[in-house]
């Protein structure tokens, strides 16, 4: 077999070609498998690296689904405890990130049921999440206050729709997953994802109608 030759952004091997993006995906998959194998072997440094790679996503998703920063931190700890315990059962049929998405959504759902059993189904807005101080040259205090108010109203509307609709909306609009990836993460058909996503968007538009009208008037 001839040596690989790069032509026009593609890697040619003999008569076949592999796009650079595909080669990068193969490399990333190999690195992920190596990281998982190291974690399974009990390497604490490897597991710390796994947490480092995914903790921001887990906290952000949990905070948006629960609407409470402290609860989100607790959930994030529980998520990585579950990852540690269940890593031996991870079969690599999906990406590690997709698998962690599923654990995170499940933990958030369990936490909400815990609240409901204790009559604690009233949630706080994400204004409780610490926000870094505005840098020099950044938005004015008025603009920052307006941004925070918009974020509060959007989060309040998000918390007002069902958890199932909220989950697919956040995974699609915030995390950027495709409908197929969401279906894989949640263990539901892609058609169900699309249906829930459509209803979630309609529900959010209804709840944020006043905000949209304010934007048009300003």
Residue 211: burial class (beta carbons within 10 Å; 0-12, 13-18, 19+): middle
Q: Which residue has the higher pLDDT, 124 or 45?
A: 45
Q: Tens digits of per-residue pLDDT, 149-192?
A: 888 888 889 999 999 999 999 999 999 999 999 999 999 999 99
Six-digit token string for 104: 């995170």
Question: For the domain 131-218, what is the CATH code?
Answer: 1.10.10.10
What is the residue-averaged pLDDT of the chain?
Answer: 79
Six-digit token string for 47: 């597991």
Q: Which residue has the higher pLDDT, 82 or 33?
A: 82
Q: Give domain limits for the chain.
A: 18-128, 131-218
Least confident of 34-48, 51-65, 89-103, 160-174: 89-103
Q: State the pLDDT at residue 27.
A: 67
Percent over 70 (pLDDT), the chain: 70
Six-digit token string for 111: 């936490």
Cα–Cα distances in Å, from 85 out to 89, 96, 208? Answer: 9, 14, 41
- Residues 6+ positions from 136 with CB-CB distance below 8 Å: none
- CA 3, distance to chain mean position in Å, is 40
The stretch 135-151 carries a mean pLDDT of 68
Least confident of 12-16, 118-122, 135-139: 12-16
CB atoms under 10 Å from CB of 122, counted, come to 8
SS (H, E, C) the chain: CCCCEEECCEEEECCEEEEHHHHHHHHHHHHHHHHHHHHHCCCHHHHHHHHHHHHHHHHHHHHHHHCCHHHHHHHHHHHHHHHHHHHHHCCCCCCHHHHHHHHHHHHHHHHHHHHHHCCCCCCCCHHHCCCCCCCCCCCCHHHHHHHHHHHHHHHHHHHHCCHHHHHHHHHHHHCCCCHHHHHHHHCCCHHHHHHHHHHHHHHHHHHCHHHHHHHHHC
115 contacts 122 by C-beta, under 8 angstroms: no
Q: Tens digits of per-residue pLDDT, 66-122?
A: 988 999 999 999 999 999 999 988 877 788 999 999 999 999 999 887 766 665 444
Q: State the pLDDT at residue 207.
A: 87
Q: State the pLDDT at residue 183.
A: 96
Percent over 90 (pLDDT), the chain: 53
Question: For the domain 18-128, what is the CATH code?
Answer: 1.10.1740.10
pTM of the predicted model as reported, rounded to 2 decimal places: 0.72
The stretch 32-43 carries a mean pLDDT of 91
CA-nearest of 130, 129, 181 to 155 is: 129
**pLDDT band for position 142 (cuts 50, 70, 90):** low
**pLDDT band for position 13 (cuts 50, 70, 90):** very low
Residue 35: burial class (beta carbons within 10 Å; 0-12, 13-18, 19+): middle
């Amino acid at each position: 077999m001839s040596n690989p030759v790069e032509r026009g952004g593609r890697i040619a091997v003999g008569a076949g070609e592999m796009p650079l993006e595909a080669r990068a995906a193969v490399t990333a998959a190999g690195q992920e498998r190596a990281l998982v194998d190291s974690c399974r072997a009990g390497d604490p440094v490897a597991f710390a690296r796994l947490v480092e790679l995914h903790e921001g996503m887990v906290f952000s998703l949990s905070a948006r689904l629960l609407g409470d920063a402290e609860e989100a931190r607790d959930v994030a700890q529980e998520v990585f405890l579950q990852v540690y315990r269940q890593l031996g059962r991870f079969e690599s049929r999906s990406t590690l990130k997709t698998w962690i998405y599923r654990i995170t959504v499940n933990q958030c759902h369990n936490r909400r049921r815990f609240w409901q059993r204790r009559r604690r189904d009233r949630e706080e807005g994400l204004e409780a999440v610490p926000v870094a101080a505005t840098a020099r040259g950044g938005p004015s205090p008025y603009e920052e206050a307006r941004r925070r108010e918009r974020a509060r109203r959007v989060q309040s509307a998000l918390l007002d729709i069902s958890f199932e609709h909220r989950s697919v909306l956040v995974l699609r609009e915030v995390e950027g997953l495709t409908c197929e990836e969401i279906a894989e993460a949640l263990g539901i058909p892609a058609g169900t994802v699309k249906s829930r996503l459509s209803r979630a968007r309609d529900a959010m538009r209804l709840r944020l109608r006043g905000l949209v009208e304010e934007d048009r008037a300003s």
